[in-house]
């Protein structure tokens, strides 16, 4: 089974790249492969021109200071037996950065909007939003340049989601971070991203500037995703494009285009030949026979 198959895209410095798609399409696997938390079977992962797959254990540890991740559920990613102080200190100790450790911990907690009084608490004594702030502080401990945000708000209440999103945007502006923002919530992706990629069954089917993709979606799957977003104004009407059928098994994907069994625009060539990424407009790419 190929959970992620032939995916290729780039993320610029100081950019937020939003990755969207149905649950199970390979978004999280892709994010973890980039950091080598899951070892890819083939391909290249380039960071500043260096292929991460060619680094040995020592070189990878040194490079990982610049590459961090915030997981979906903070309660499962934070050790319940460790205090907030120890959780935030963990990456600093692992990389030998122990000078003025206490001061640095308090700086990181302040950076994410938490006071000194939280340093001696444990995860079970904090709310979901507070735990996610601790996870963000831990990810920022080594001054990374690139952070994978794996659905960082999906486990939180709506009001807390807004606080965490605003915090992430503020941190990006202050620290010059680059994000890979993984989510199935299109409204959240629209709020935070500069560019966006759409995944379906292990493949990226469309990428481009956020406004270009949102206003002129080219792939039928992207059109269906965007049509499912609820409109906040009851007087506004949107044509709903409901997909038929089920997502095919990734163990046995269909020949040709993987979306063809559910596509209303399917042609004979779609069932025989897999479409390749084509630049249809400036920096707007799509893998669909309708646009080749």
For the segment 184-242, what is each residue's pLDDT rounded down to a tens digit? 889 899 999 999 999 999 999 999 999 999 999 999 999 999 988 877 777 777 677 77
86 and 202 within one domain? no
281 and 172 within one domain? no
102 and 48 within one domain? yes
Please tell me the number of Cα atoms within 13 Å of 254 on its side-chain side. 19
Residue that is written with structure tokens 């507070």 in the block: 130
Structure tokens at 281: 């407009």
Tell me how crowded residue 256 is: count the other CB atoms within 10 A of its CB: 19
Buried b (16+ CB within 10 A) or exposed e, 40-70: beeeebebeeeebeebeeeeeeebbbebbbb
175 and 215 within one domain? no
Q: What is the pLDDT of residue 228?
A: 84
- On whether the CB atoms of residues 217 and 20 are closer than 8 A, the answer is no
CATH number at residue 112: 3.40.50.300
Q: What is the pLDDT of residue 50?
A: 94
Is 90 exceeded by the pLDDT of residue 78?
yes
Is 5 inside a domain boundary? Answer: no
- Structural domain including 170 reads 16-193
pTM, to two decimals: 0.93
96 and 34 within one domain? yes
182 and 251 within one domain? no
CA-based torsion, 133, 11, 174, 163: positive or negative: negative
Q: What is the pLDDT of residue 235?
A: 75
d(C-alpha 222, C-alpha 216), whole Å: 10
- On whether the CB atoms of residues 287 and 276 are closer than 8 A, the answer is yes
Of 139, 167, 193, which one is at a domain's C-terminal end?
193
Structure tokens at 153: 């708000």
120 and 228 within one domain? no
Q: What is the pLDDT of residue 249?
A: 87
248 and 147 within one domain? no
Q: What is the pLDDT of residue 28?
A: 94
Listed range (17-31, 243-257, 266-280) with the worst mean pLDDT: 243-257
121 and 169 within one domain? yes
Comparing CA positions, the residue from 164, 82, 85 lying closest to residue 117 is: 85
Listed range (97-106, 112-121, 155-164, 177-186) with the worst mean pLDDT: 155-164
Of 165, 193, 221, which one is at a domain's C-terminal end?
193
């Amino acid at each position: 089974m190929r959970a992620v198959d032939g995916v290729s895209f780039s993320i610029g410095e100081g950019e937020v790249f939003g990755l969207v798609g149905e649950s199970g399409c390979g978004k999280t696997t892709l994010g973890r492969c980039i950091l080598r938390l899951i070892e890819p079977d083939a391909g290249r992962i380039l960071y500043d021109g260096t292929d991460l797959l060619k680094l040995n254990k020592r070189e990878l540890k040194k490079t990982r200071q610049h590459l961090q991740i915030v997981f979906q559920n903070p309660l499962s990613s934070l050790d319940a037996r460790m205090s907030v102080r120890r959780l935030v200190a963990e990456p600093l100790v692992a990389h030998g950065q122990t000078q003025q450790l206490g001061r640095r911990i308090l700086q990181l907690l302040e950076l994410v909007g938490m006071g000194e009084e939280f340093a001696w608490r444990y995860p079970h004594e904090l709310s979901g939003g507070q735990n996610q702030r601790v996870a963000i502080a831990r990810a920022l401990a080594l001054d990374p340049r690139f952070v994978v945000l794996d659905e960082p708000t999906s486990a939180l209440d709506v009001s807390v989601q807004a606080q965490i999103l605003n915090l992430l945007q503020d941190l990006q502006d202050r620290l010059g971070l680059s994000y890979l923002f993984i989510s199935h919530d299109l409204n959240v992706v629209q709020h935070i991203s500069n560019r966006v990629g759409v995944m379906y069954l292990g493949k990226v089917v469309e990428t481009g500037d956020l406004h270009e993709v949102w206003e002129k979606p080219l792939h039928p799957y992207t059109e269906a995703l965007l049509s499912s977003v609820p409109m906040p104004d009851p007087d506004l009407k949107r044509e709903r494009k409901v997909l038929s059928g089920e997502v095919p098994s990734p163990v046995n994907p269909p020949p040709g285009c993987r979306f063809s069994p559910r596509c209303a625009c399917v042609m004979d060539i779609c069932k025989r030949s897999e479409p390749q990424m084509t630049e249809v407009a400036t920096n707007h790419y799509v893998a669909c026979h309708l646009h080749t």
